[in-house]
Structures are given as C-alpha cells and as structure tokens.
Amino acid sequence: MRHLTPKAITLLALVALILVAPLFFPSSFYYRVGTLMFINGLAVTGLVILIGYAGQISLGHAGFCGIGAYACALAPVHLGLPPVLAMLLGAVISGALAYLVGRPILRLKGHYLAVATLGFGILIFMVLSNESWLTGGPDGMQVEDLGLRALLKSVGISVPAAELWYWLSALVLLLGAALALNLHTSSTGRALRSLHDSEIAARTVGVDVAHFKLMAFVISAVYASVSGSLLAMMNKFVSPDIAGFLHSVQLVTMTVLGGAGSVFGAITGASILTALPQGLTIFHDYEHIVLGLIMMLVMIFLREGLVPSLIKRFSRRQG
C-alpha cells in the first residue's frame, strides 16, 4: 500500500465496495437504493469541490439537479434529442447558468451567500412548478426511456433495469470521483484549498480568488445537473421536488455529515443519508425524531464529518 496515493486508495475502495455490495443484496430493491446512493454521491462530490475545497456554501444546488432532470424530460420531446445528448445539454445549461449568476453571487460571504443561493434555487423550483404547460406542473411528467436496455437486448444481453442502473450510475460516480480527486491534487485544487483556509492569504500569494470560486461553482453545478439527469432517466418520471429547497439541504447535509473535505467521506455521507430513511421505517412515527437526533449527534461529536473525524481518531490512537 505504501506506493499508493490517497487518490488511488479512495478509488480502489470505491470500486471494491461497488463490486462487493451486490453479493449482499437479498432483492433487486437494494440495487435501487445503491443507485440512489451513487446518484446522490455524484451531486455531493460536486459539493465537495464547492464546500470542501473552495469553502463556499450553496443552499440552492438542487436547482441544477432540476435543470439536468428536466433537460432529459423535455429535450427528447421538444428537440428530438436522444436522452444522452439531453443530459449533456442539461449540463451545458447548468454550467452556463452557474457561470452567469456565479459572478455576482460569489462576491457574497457566509450567510449572505447562503440566502442568495437559496433564492436562486427557489426561483428555478418555482419556474418548474408553475409553468405547467411545459413541465407538467407540480405533478411532474414522464421521461423517455434511455433505450440502453433495448440496445443491449438487441445484441443478446438481457439485464434487469435495476441492475443496469446500478452499474451505470456507479460508473458515472467513479468517473466523477476520479475527476474531483485529480482536481484536488492539481494546481487548481491547491489554489481552491488555499481559498478555503483564508481568502485574504490566498489573494496575497496571487490566487485569482474570484476566478477559482466561480470555477468551483460551475463544476459543482455540472455535477448536480448530471445527477439530476440520471435520476430522471432511471425513474422515467420527474417532478419539481428534485429542485426543491429540501433536496438542496439534503445534499449539503450529506456532504457535511460525511466530511466535506473528502470525496470518500462525502460519498459515505450520501450513502448513509440515502439508506437511513429506509432503515428508519421500522420506527414508524418516530422516523423524524431519530433522523434529527442522528444529524445533531454526528455534527456535535464528529464535527469535521464522519469519515475525516473517524480517520483522525483512529490514527491518533495508532500513534
């Protein structure tokens, strides 16, 4: 293990977990939960770049998920695009929008940035929810099938939909994680992290602060958009909830709970918070109480997030 970089370790661990997990799946329902973990994990990986590397906050990122999701719902119907191109189109729109609003918004600090991104997310949600002639309104709309299963079938491979999505989303997540980890070690990553520690210090050593913040914002928007597209295509259905405030908060919570500074941590956070509600159903009416308590306890006692805090504790004990 000595000659393996942290990046390689993270990726290998992810690959191992993805490959081994299905051995424990008692039913194909678990493939769906796994897929949801990966899709959330992708959006959250984007937030690691924004929150963990660049130290900025966003309470509106679900808005970009919404753009990605509705691109996949609308572009095939209105523009005749195949779903894969629709996903790319969504990512381009999200990135461009993030670039446009990012400049003025990212001048704000702390809670002011939080409220501005919150407002931005709510605006996207309102458009998706109110323009029912286009989006089907709050009740949502159907999304065209990706067609991948049919394609595989035509060459003689038959895969259940749940499994196909598990492997497909895992692949996209690995790709996203690898890119994020590359960014971490690149000079851009170093610039971003210097920004996180101290914006003023970063500026004095010649980092173009505004440029790098904007870059982190755009990249994280594209991650969120792709995750929204995947969710829409898997569900073959989309509703404005995906762009809602609660989803934005969920994404930030996943990031911070798992550990905003680490890709592996944040994906762990996404996995835990995706699986948790399924586990909590045994508490029936007490679901919310337990969920709230867990969130508070983790953040109070492991404030850097689950994974980084645990690693720190473990290594301290070791020596």
Partner 1 sequence: MSDLLQFVFSGLTVGAVYALVALGFTIIYNASDVVNFSQGEFVMLGGMSTVFLSAAGVPLPAAAILAVVITAAVGVALNKFAIEPARNASVVTIIIITIGASIFLRGVAQIVFDKQLHRFESFSGDAPIEILGATILPQSIWVIFGASVIFAALYVFFTRTLTGKAVLATANNRLAARLVGINTNFIMTLSFALSAAIGAVAGVLVTPITLTSYDIGIALALKGFAAAMLGGMGNPFGALVGGLLLGLIEALTAGYISSTYKDAAAFIVILAVLFIMPSGLFGRAAVNRV
Partner 2 sequence: MTFLTRLKSTAAAVAIIGLAAQPALADIKIGASLSQTGPASFLGDPEAKTLKMLVDEINAKGGIKGEKVELVMYDDAGDANNARTFATRLVEDDEVVAIIGGTTTGTTMAMVPVAEEAEVPFISLAGAVVIIDPVKKWVFKTPHTDKMACAKIFEDLKARGLTRIGLISGTGGFEMSMREQCLKLAPEYGMEIVADESYGPKDADMTPQLTKIAGVAGLQAVVNPGFGQGPAIVTRNFRQLNIQVPLYQSHGVASKSFIELAGEAAEGVRLPAAALLVADKLPDSDPQKAVVVGYRDAYEKATGSPVSTFGGHAYDAFMILVQAIERAGSAEPVAIRDEIEKTKGYVGTGGIVNMSPEDHMGLDLSAFRMLEIRNGDWTIVE
- The least CB distance from residue 30 to partner 1, in Å, is 26
Tell me which residues in 79-138 interact with partner 2 (CB under 8 A): 129-130, 132, 137-138
- The least CB distance from residue 307 to partner 2, in Å, is 23
Cite the beta strand spans of the chain per DSSP E. 141-142, 237-238
Q: Report CA 121 to chain centroid distance, whole Å.
A: 15
Q: Which residue has the tokens 């809670």?
A: 111
Determine if 185 is a binding residue for partner 2 (CB under 8 A).
no
Distance of alpha carbon 40 from alpha carbon 268, whole angstroms: 10
The one-letter amino acid at 112: Y
* Tokens coding 53: 């590397």
Determine if 295 is a binding residue for partner 2 (CB under 8 A).
no
Q: Which of partner 1, partner 2, none does residue 251 bind (CB under 5 to 8 Å by kind)?
A: none
Distance of alpha carbon 48 from alpha carbon 177, whole angstroms: 10
Distance of alpha carbon 90 from alpha carbon 105, whole angstroms: 21
Distance of alpha carbon 55 from alpha carbon 269, whole angstroms: 18
Provide the H-helix boundaries in 205-281: 209-235, 245-258, 263-280
Sign, CA torsion 197/201/205/211:
positive
Tell me which residues in 146-165 interact with partner 2 (CB under 8 A): 161-162
For partner 2, which residue of 1, 2, 3, 27 counts as binding (CB under 8 A)? 27
For partner 1, which residue of 116, 141, 222, 232 counts as binding (CB under 8 A)? 116
Q: Which of partner 1, partner 2, none does residue 235 bind (CB under 5 to 8 Å by kind)?
A: partner 2
Candidate segments 25-33, 164-172, 193-201, 305-313, binder of partner 2 by CB under 8 A? 25-33
Distance of alpha carbon 247 from alpha carbon 281, whole angstroms: 20
Determine if 126 is a binding residue for partner 1 (CB under 8 A).
yes
The one-letter amino acid at 74: L
The site for partner 1 (CB under 8 A) is made up of 51, 57, 104-105, 107-112, 114-116, 118-120, 122-123, 126, 130, 198-201, 245-246, 249, 252-253, 256-257, 260, 285-296, 299-301, 303
The site for partner 2 (CB under 8 A) is made up of 20, 23-24, 26-30, 32-33, 36, 129-130, 132, 137-140, 142, 161-162, 231, 235-239, 241-242, 246, 277-278, 281, 287-288
